[in-house]
Amino acid sequence: MSELVKKNTLFPAFFDDFFTKDFINWNDKNFTKFGSTLPSANIKEDDKTYMIQIAVPGLRKEDFEIEYKNGILSVSSEKKVEKEDKDKEGNYIRKEFTYSTFQRTFSLPEDIMDDKIEANYKEGILTVNINKKEVKPVIAKKTIMVK
């Protein structure tokens, strides 16, 4: 017969997660291991462009910062909203604030035109279009006759 032993841990379960979970795997239902949301992204490619669509409702186009450097496209946003209601004497009746932030980075291939990156925000979807360089076809082996 085995005995039941009650564990009286000194630290909460948070620390168990901290030390046992894999922090490199960030694909846990669009949430990071720290609980912040990571917006979903669709990436499409055709002959002339790459298109990245990121679902970020509730923002304005002014809320985004998009940078390209050394083959990395970085899309980030930071939004702070404060609302307060005061009575006639200037005392707070209610004060609320929200803060949201995210950053997504994408490694881009070498065949892009870094001066032809455009972004558009419409109906909660940020779309980044990246034009490709025109790739010249590789000529197959050609034998040259000596005259």
d(CA 64, CA 74): 10
| Token couple for 124 | 């909660």
- pLDDT bin (cut points 50, 70, 90) of residue 49 is very high
Q: How confident is the model at residue 50 (pLDDT cuts 50, 70, 90)?
A: very high
What fold is seen in the domain 39-132? Immunoglobulin-like (2.60.40)
Alpha helices, DSSP H, located in the chain: 13-20
- 74-104 pLDDT, tens digit per residue, is 999 988 888 888 888 878 778 888 888 899 9
With beta carbons less than 8 A apart as the criterion, state whether 76 and 102 touch. yes
Percent of the chain beyond pLDDT 70? 75
Check whether 118 has a pLDDT greater than 70: yes
Q: Tell me the C-alpha distance between 93 and 77, whole Å.
A: 30
Q: What is the pLDDT of residue 26?
A: 42
**pLDDT above 90 for 43:** yes
Counts of helices then strands in the chain (DSSP H, E): 1, 7
Q: Which residue has the higher pLDDT, 143 or 25?
A: 143
- Measured distance CA(42)–CA(33) in Å, rounded: 21
pLDDT at 52: 97
Average pLDDT of span 103-118: 92
Please check the confidence at residue 35 and state whether its pLDDT lies above 70: no
Predicted local distance difference test score (pLDDT) of residue 100 = 84
What's the angle, vertex CA 97, arms to CA 91 and CA 100, rounded to 5? 170
What's the sign of the alpha-carbon dihedral 120, 61, 29, 69? positive
Chain centre distance of CA 109: 18
Once rounded to an integer, what is the mean pLDDT over residues 59-86?
Answer: 91
Q: Where are the domains of the chain?
A: 39-132
